[in-house]
């Protein structure tokens, strides 16, 4: 393979990386209690890049013990909020300083493009630590109105030890979405990265110690869902779990909680989000590049991806032609090449699962408007597919595929477009394109989902809450001031005051 100079530079960085391989518990790296390890692969080559400690229930227990001890000793949970702020700001800066190393680590562990990894890790991850660090000393309690014989304080206290269970599609970004507010609130944490992508969270834990986080406040237990994940879900000394992943596993966390200590569980789960093009939308380059990103960004491995693209009948042909042109132009291949726009699927198994939906779409009678069986090396690469003639009853229109399979559904009019958009058990995100503000607001109000983006494909930013209605989430939200609610308890302190003087 001939590499461009930029790609070669990132391959060289990859060659020099020393990969974390142990669990991070109580401020230090350590082997799994059992001594077992598991392989982590580079999806772009299919090769094993390292062995990682296989944390199981005993390791989760050690991590929870360390987290509880650190929570009780108060070095983080009861310290001055200005101190928490300064540590989180230092961590933000350390992530920026190590952005290239972390981005390459993320790319080789996940198959994500280096361009996306640099944006996520160089810009967004530090922004989260900075923004929540800044909030740490600006979050106030309340005083309730009372007569003069009383004083009623409403206090917000860190909830305690929180378990953070993460997916593989945005490994470090999802860690930051949860860790930044949890740490800003003063909680101690046990993080379980997805088994497919354990490396970046481990390296982050090391940087957090360098930033001054006390030992035990941030523990990382790399391991599998059924063992390490379940041990977190069922642990009686974990006060709250915040989970991001599939709806199926989210439901298991509710069961684990009900069968253990009734811990609250914040759930951010799957989706089958619509993108709706109304009768008056302009089918211009902006709309098309957003529609293509909505389906193909991160290889379609994105919870808020818009795979159901519902288009008004009079716009359908123009839209389809341009969206196919847009998808055709996408550069799929070596994730470490900055020119690449779509890297590899995370695992061979996931690639096969997505490919099986392409077969299913064909069998269901959808028309293939774009497909490409070009190869990109030994890894888990899958080119995008565009289906036309998708109907709302097809599996490819109903089930979360989590890969680059864009389905165009024609709607007779705007009202039918809304009915089709509503016809899903999920409620994470929707994109609506129109030039008419009234229509935009009508759709925004009617769509039961956590985020509606108008005339763009967007998940908002650090300041705006993100989460799902229906089977995409619980009432918990990541991001925004609202994320803090997952990690605090509310306490009333009622004083009886004697009249004096
Ligand atoms: P997943 O549900 O398979 O795994 C998520 C996490 O749960 C992993 O850490 C995994 O090890 C753990 N897990 C798996 N089985 C478990 C079990 N039996 N008990 C306890 N823990 C278990 O999800 P995934 O494949 O890693 O990620 C893809 C899913 O995540 C998609 O459905 C996607 O929509 C969703 N997602 C949602 C958001 C959001 O904010 N709503 C963001 C990213 C991804």
CA distance 151 to 90: 38
CA distance 140 to 155: 8
Looking at residue 500, its pLDDT comes to 82
Reported as a single tens digit per residue, the pLDDT across 193-248 is 999 999 999 999 999 999 999 999 999 999 999 999 999 999 999 999 999 999 99
pLDDT surpasses 90 at 273: yes
pLDDT surpasses 80 at 501: no
Looking at residue 244, its pLDDT comes to 98
Looking at residue 126, its pLDDT comes to 98
CB neighbour class for 125 (10 Å; exposed up to 12, middle 13-18, buried from 19): buried
* Nearest-CA residue for atom 12 of ligand 1: 225
CA distance 295 to 302: 8
- CA torsion angle 308 168 174 454 (round to 10): -10
- Helix, strand or coil, per DSSP, at residue 39: strand
pLDDT surpasses 90 at 2: no
Q: Which residues contact 475 (CB under 8 A, 6 or more apart)?
A: 467
pLDDT class of 499 with cuts at 50, 70, 90? confident
Q: What stretches of 74-168 show up as alpha helix (H) in DSSP?
A: 81-97, 99-110, 114-119, 125-136
349 CB within 6 A, ligand 1:
no
Give the mean model confidence (pLDDT) for residues 370-379: 93
CA distance 263 to 94: 33
* Nearest-CA residue for atom 28 of ligand 1: 245
Q: Which residues contact 117 (CB under 8 A, 6 or more apart)?
A: 102, 103, 104, 106, 107, 110
Task: Tell me how far the alpha carbon of residue 398 lies from the centroid of ligand 1, in angstroms.
Answer: 19
Looking at residue 367, its pLDDT comes to 98
pLDDT surpasses 90 at 85: yes
DSSP state of 485: G
| Mean residue pLDDT across the chain | 98
Looking at residue 453, its pLDDT comes to 98
How many residues in total does the chain contain?
501
Residues with catalytic function:
268, 303
CA distance 165 to 229: 7
Task: Tell me how far the alpha carbon of residue 192 lies from the centroid of ligand 1, in angstroms.
Answer: 11
pLDDT surpasses 80 at 451: yes
225 CB within 6 A, ligand 1:
yes
165 CB within 6 A, ligand 1:
yes
Looking at residue 311, its pLDDT comes to 98
pLDDT surpasses 80 at 1: no
- DSSP H helix total and E strand total for the chain: 16, 21
Residues 175, 178, 180: CA angle, nearest 5 degrees = 95
CA-based torsion, 123, 124, 130, 131: positive or negative: positive
Structural domains of the chain ordered from first start = 5-269+485-490 (3.40.605.10), 274-463 (3.40.309.10)
pLDDT surpasses 80 at 72: yes
- Counting residues of the chain whose pLDDT is more than 70, the rounded percentage is 100
Map tokens 């949860």 to a residue: 178
Give the mean model confidence (pLDDT) for residues 177-197: 98
Looking at residue 190, its pLDDT comes to 99
Strands (E), 301-404: 306-312, 367-370, 385-388
Could you give the C-alpha distances from 31 to 27, 52, 55, 427, 483, in angstroms and in order? 13, 9, 8, 40, 33
By most ligand atoms within 8 Å of CB, the mutation choice from 225, 230, 273 for ligand 1 is 225
Give the mean model confidence (pLDDT) for residues 290-312: 98
* Nearest-CA residue for atom 35 of ligand 1: 245
244 CB within 6 A, ligand 1:
yes
Give the mean model confidence (pLDDT) for residues 341-370: 98
Kind plus residue range of the DSSP H or E element containing 430 = strand 429-433
Closest CA to 384 of 437, 435, 342, 446: 342
Looking at residue 427, its pLDDT comes to 98
Tokens standing for residue 248: 């199926």
Reported as a single tens digit per residue, the pLDDT across 5-61 is 999 999 999 999 999 999 999 999 999 999 999 999 999 999 999 999 999 999 999
CA distance 412 to 409: 10
246 CB within 6 A, ligand 1:
yes
Task: Tell me how far the alpha carbon of residue 249 lies from the centroid of ligand 1, in angstroms.
Answer: 6
């Amino acid at each position: 393979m001939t590499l461009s100079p930029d790609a070669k530079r990132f391959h060289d960085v990859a060659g020099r990386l020393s990969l974390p391989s142990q669990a991070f518990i109580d401020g230090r790296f350590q082997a799994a209690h059992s001594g077992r390890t598991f392989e982590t692969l580079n999806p772009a080559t299919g090769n094993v890049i390292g062995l990682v400690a296989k944390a199981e229930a005993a390791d989760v227990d050690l991590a929870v013990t360390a987290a509880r001890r650190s929570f009780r000793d108060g070095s983080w949970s009861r310290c001055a909020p200005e101190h928490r702020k300064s540590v989180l700001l230092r961590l933000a800066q350390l992530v920026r300083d190590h952005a290239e190393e972390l981005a390459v680590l993320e790319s080789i562990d996940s198959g994500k493009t280096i361009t996306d990894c640099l944006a996520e890790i160089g810009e967004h991850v530090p922004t989260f630590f900075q923004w929540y660090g800044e909030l740490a000393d600006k979050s106030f309690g309340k005083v309730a109105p009372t007569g003069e014989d009383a004083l009623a304080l409403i206090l917000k206290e860190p909830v305690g030890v929180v378990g953070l269970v993460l997916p593989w599609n945005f490994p470090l970004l999802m860690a930051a979405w949860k860790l930044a507010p949890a740490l800003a609130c003063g909680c101690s944490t046990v993080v379980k990265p997805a088994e497919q992508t354990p490396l970046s969270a481990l390296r982050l834990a090391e940087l957090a110690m360098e930033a001054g986080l006390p030992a035990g406040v941030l523990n990382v237990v790399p391991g599998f869902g059924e063992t390490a994940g379940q041990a977190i879900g069922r642990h009686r000394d974990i006060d709250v779990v915040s989970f991001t992943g599939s709806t199926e596993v989210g439901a298991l966390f509710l069961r684990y909680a009900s069968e253990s200590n009734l811990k609250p569980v914040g759930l951010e789960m799957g989706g089958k989000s619509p993108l709706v093009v109304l009768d008056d939308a302009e089918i211009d380059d902006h709309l098309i590049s957003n529609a293509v990103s909505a389906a193909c960004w991160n290889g379609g491995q994105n919870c808020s991806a818009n795979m159901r693209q519902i288009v008004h009948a009079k716009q359908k042909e123009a839209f389809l032609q341009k969206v196919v042109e847009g998808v055709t132009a996408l550069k799929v291949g070596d994730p470490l090449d900055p020119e690449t726009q779509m890297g590899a699927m995370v695992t061979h198994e996931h690639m096969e699962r997505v490919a099986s939906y392409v077969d299913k779409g064909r069998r269901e009678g959808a028309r293939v408007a774009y497909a490409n069986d070009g190869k990109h090396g030994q890894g888990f690469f899958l080119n995008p597919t565009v289906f036309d003639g998708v109907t709302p009853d097809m599996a490819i229109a109903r089930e979360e595929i989590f890969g680059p399979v864009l389905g165009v559904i024609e709607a007779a009019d705007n009202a039918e477009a809304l009915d089709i958009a509503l016809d899903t058990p999920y409620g994470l995100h929707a994109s609506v394109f129109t030039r008419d503000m009234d229509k935009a607001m009508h759709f925004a109000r009617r769509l039961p989902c956590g985020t509606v983006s108008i005339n763009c494909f967007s998940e908002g930013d650090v300041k705006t809450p993100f989460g799902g209605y229906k089977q995409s989430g619980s009432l918990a939200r990541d991001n925004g001031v609202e994320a803090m609610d997952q990690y605090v308890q509310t306490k009333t302190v009622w004083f009886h005051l004697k009249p004096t003087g």
